[in-house]
Amino acid sequence: MKFILFFLWSLLMVFSLKTNGKVIQPNKLEVSEIKVFLTQEEKKYLSFKNKLRVGVNHSSFIPFDIIEEGYESTIYSGISSEILSIISDVLDVDVEFYFFNNRNEAITAVLRDEIDLITSSNAYELQYGLILSKIYFYDRPIIFRSAKVDEIKKVSVAYEYLDDEYLSELFPHLDFLFYPSREEAIAAAVFGETDAVINDLLSLNHSYNHRYIGDLKYQEVIEDISSKGFAFSFNSENIILRDIFNKVINEIDSNTLQLIVHRWNGGSIIPPTLQQLTYVKNNLLDKFIKKEVSVAVMLHQAPFSYLDEFDNPQGVLIELLNLFNIYSGVKIKLTIVKDLDEAFFLLKGGHVDLVAINESQPRREEFLVSDIIFHNPFVYITNKNVNLHDIETIIVTNNSVISDVIDLSKYKKTQADGYLKTLSKVVLDQKSAAIMPISIANFYINQYFFEHLEVNGSNYSLPNANVTFAAMKGNSNLIDFINGLLRVIPKGQVETISSMWRKYSVVTNNTWKDYKYTVYTLSVSISIILLLVTIYIIFARRAIKVERSLKNQNSEQLNFLQDIIDSIPHPVYYISENFKIEMSNEAFKSIFYYRNGRYYEVLKKLGYHQLSRLIKRHKTIIKFKKSDITDYTLYIDNKKYVIYHWLRPYSNINGYTSGVIGGWLDVSERAKLLEEIEDAKIEAESANSAKSLFLATMSHEIRTPMNVIIGALDLVINHNYSMDEKNKHLSMAYSSAKDLLSLIGDILDISKIEAGELIITPRNSNLKNTIDSIFNMFYGLAKQKNILLIKTYDNNINSSLMFDDLRLKQILLNILSNAVKFTDEGSINLKVISLGVIDNHQEIKIVIKDTGIGIEKEEIKKLFKSFSQASSSYNRGGTGLGLMISKKLCELMSGEMELNSQVDLGTIISMRFKFPIIDNEKFLNQDLNEESNEYINFLKKKILLVDDHPSNRIILAKQIERLGHEVLTASDGYDALTIIDKNIDIDIVITDCHMPKMDGYDLTKNIRSKYFNRKDLIILGLTANAQSNIKEKCILVGMDDCLFKPLDFDELDKKFRGFFLKKPNIVKENEKIINEEVLTYLINAGVDLKSVFDEFVQATLFDLDKLSTLNNLDEIMEIIHRIKSASSILGFKEITKTCLSIESRYSIENSDINTLNLFVDEIIIEMEKFLIKNITSGKD
């Protein structure tokens, strides 16, 4: 349809082209020099062109194209005129203007090459084949509705602004009426032809502020449609001129464009620039995804928020929220509330997102608050001609923050519902004052109380009522979004809105009930005035008598005041603005030697520098008229005093600050006490920190071996493995359980908590076996993750080193666990390198390198703190203790740890140790001598086990029986005494320390008292409490030692051996492989040697066959230990020696197995001869 109309207009308007003889562009903007690089072709074009023919719509398009017809000339101004002036000056070409009746005539002229370009063009010109230059002003289509309607049905639009078909698709429920110009479209909405208008923000804003304030109300920004902004349009064949214009527009800086817009925006909102909108989109809207924000605004808080005569929300805050919508596109939903109580109720209930409040510290603690929007000073409002010193009552509105920021303790405080009622109460009470923000006070005083009230804040410095937005805690995204918008929107915009609404605020006219307090105020005021006049007449005659008596009273009051001040035991004084001490009490005078009206020793006792600082403080009080109360360190006669020093400005009846009232309390003792409390606090925190470290360490170290135990048992229970594989996994679980038990024994030592340290126990260990055991533990896990786990070991490292094998395993386990956890592809390299031998110490370097995700530099320092991990993006579980524990253990082992890492490349952890080298032969001989004497005289013992828990009794009894001893059991102390009475030959009593009826401690006391002649009776305590003082308690009551649950065979074996092992002198070995003396001793002791030897051979051969099939070193060492123990008891020294050698180096070779088999074969032959000889002789 538009194309048909365009064709008809083209025929009718061929001769409508006209130009005025003279066109004036007034008030050109002075800009800095703009340089543009033009090609030779472009320069040639301009020199040929010489003059630009510019088409302008004769109907003014304010504020872009403003045309005023003069008598001899036409004045052309506006935004487009300013931009065109800059371009013509830069290109140094003249401009000839052609004015047309409408835009279609201008388009026809461009197509006929009668003009070169059209100003103020947008997407409308594109429909007719024209091309546009770069946008010189960005446009946001916006809807303003009539203030008289609530529902929008008909909308007016200028026909050349937006495409009608696209508008109908976007708003199918609306009817659109198109008008020849934008001014006519705006007027249609104002005068009721339509309900709303769609227009560009700048021209609509200009018309609103100049003609239609209060007639139109902001509705919303249209996000889904673009007008292409404002540009120049050209014939599609005139690309060269379009490119020249683009080059110049590109060089016009944003400040110049903003200045131009500011000159023509109509004194209100300046539309956002493209850069501002892009910033909001990329930096704010990407993080804030809500499409609508609900805001509670007050009903009676003019000029910030109120309802106009059509019940439309108006005011500074409303305009600011509209600006938020313009800049971001986020819709603002307004909820009108009567007071802050209702607003806070809706906010806390989640019915609204934001509330505008006056900021205070309590509100900051309760809510999240935005940046400050407006600074609005608090002021006093009193009746006219009332002195603030006569005020007795302060009246504030409900929920006012004034009590949070001002000390009102010396006044009587009352509250009123809203600002209007607050001011009405002030009118009724001459000795009352209200405190409220100045803008609100000015509005209501000018509107209702101009003749009665005034702002009376002189000589009193009150804080600002800082207006902010508040949201619930947890809604930080919204506050960040609001703060971002406040920083993007120019400050001048906000100030313009504030000043505009202070000027134009008109509250809706309400019924007389809304002004009843004003009526009451006027009535009461008139009554009071009449009453005062009457009283004045009555009391005028008494005035002279009163005046006379007042002089006497003043003199008495001064004397009374001095007596009161002197009665105060603490120094009090008044110093004038000339820093002369005008008044003081006796306590002050006694310090500084007051005599004959002079203070003689102020300078002497305080010193020059200290006196100068005090004078400076007093100057500050007088200058800023603010009290100062603080703790202050004062030196008098070089003695330190901590004083509670107060200073308060004194103002006379005229409000003039003439001096300072001061005084102090000596709080030196309090300061000393506070220092002691702080020291005690630091000491307590240090102790608590040690306990925290203990708990953190315990949690981590227990979890690590438990993971191995649970995993191994899961494999045994839930997978169909062979018996050998199950035994392998069970052995791994058993080994880890023993490690766990050892860790718990260390961790539960309370003395370590108090000392804040871990204990390192070095012993002869094989480093290669330690490395292999940890490496094998992670080999399967790495294989499951398709990670290559590589080990490199330096064979130059001595096989016998003195170090804590358990702690080194801990360190390696923590580091390798992290490496496997955080490596998804690639490899993990474990290198053990010898750095040489220094002073019989092997220097070792252990390097673990992975190709995992790596760690950022700033995160590395955190990793060596308790419960610290890298950032959450790297977190894959764990307590964050591993590296902290490893580093601590490394330092305790006199080592050092270094960590280097790069994100996405991996991590390298290096450790350096110096381990003492052990003389293996000497160590071996020492162990051999100890082992070769074991159990020669250690025969079957009778043991009494006392425990109230049946399961504990059964398990421990089986363990003892397996060691070859007879076991009697009792469930408490009384049963134990009965059994001892009947079995006087009991060798050992093992008793639980904690039992009902009679516990282990009382049982021990009874045994030692009743059987005092049984010095050989061994009593062992049994407890699960591994604290060090428990063992001491056991020894004190008469026990020989203490056992800690859980127990294993080796521990029981070792404990019994310590009490009963007798070491006779061993006869030197003959050439035979067996020790006949030992064997003979066993036979004489009643041992069935043949049966025992047969079982030894059968078990040993079975174990030796099994050794060749095992790969797990822990399982191998368990078998070697078993063979060694049995051989030691039977006196098979060569087998014992070989087993000790294998254990000391923690490795086994095939040659070791062959050697053991040869020894067994030789022993079988020699034992057959020995048994035949001794058994036969025994029978004879």
pLDDT of residue 934: 44
pLDDT tens-digit readout, 1076-1133: 777 876 777 677 788 888 888 888 888 888 887 777 777 888 888 888 878 877 778 7
pLDDT of residue 1140: 77
Contact call for residues 618 and 579 (beta carbons, < 8 A):
yes
d(CA 902, CA 856): 6
| Full DSSP string of 788-847 | EEEEEE-TTS-S-EEE-HHHHHHHHHHHHHHHHHT--SSEEEEEEEEEEEETTEEEEEEE
Q: Tokens 């070169």 belong to which residue?
A: 116
d(CA 200, CA 266): 13
Integer CA distances (angstroms), 401 to 358, 361, 376, 445, 686, in order: 7, 9, 13, 21, 41
Of 201, 277, 262, nearest to 496 by C-alpha is 262
Q: Please, where are the H alpha helices in 449-512?
A: 476-488, 491-504
Integer CA distances (angstroms), 100 to 60, 434, 788, 1000, in order: 11, 62, 82, 116
Contact call for residues 300 and 309 (beta carbons, < 8 A):
no
- For residue 356, list its beta bridge partners: 469
Give the 3-state secondary structure of residue 576.
strand
| Full DSSP string of 506-546 | -PPP--GGGGHHHHHHHHHHHHHHHHHHHHHHHHHTTHHHH
Residue 159 DSSP class: T
d(CA 639, CA 656): 37
Question: Using CA atoms in the order 511, 513, 518, 523, what is the torsion angle rounded to 10 degrees?
Answer: 120
pLDDT of residue 876: 46
pLDDT of residue 739: 65
Question: 25 — phi, psi (to 5°)?
Answer: -110, 95
pLDDT tens-digit readout, 1030-1060: 777 887 788 888 887 777 666 777 677 667 6
What angle (nearest 5°) sits at the alpha carbon of residue 1177, between those of residues 1173 and 1180? 150
Query: How many C-beta neighbours within 10 Å does residue 664 have?
Result: 21
In the sheet that holds 154-158, the strands lie side by side as 175-179, 154-158, 196-200, 141-146, 216-221
Q: What tokens were used for 618? A: 């007093």
Query: How many C-beta neighbours within 10 Å does residue 598 have?
Result: 10
d(CA 84, CA 90): 10
State which residues of the chain have pLDDT below 50: 1-20, 458-459, 503-514, 746, 748-757, 866-869, 871-880, 921-937, 1062-1071, 1178-1180
H or E segment to which residue 464 belongs: strand 464-471
Neighbouring C-alpha atoms within 13 Å toward the C-beta of 393: 16
pLDDT of residue 110: 92
pLDDT of residue 595: 62
- Going along the chain from its start, the domains and CATH numbers come out as 2-132 (3.40.190.10), 141-214 (3.40.190.10), 559-666 (3.30.450.20), 679-755 (1.10.287.130), 760-918 (3.30.565.10), 939-1060 (3.40.50.2300), 1066-1180 (1.20.120)
d(CA 161, CA 106): 15
Q: What tokens were used for 693? A: 């470290």
pLDDT of residue 872: 42
Contact call for residues 644 and 665 (beta carbons, < 8 A):
yes
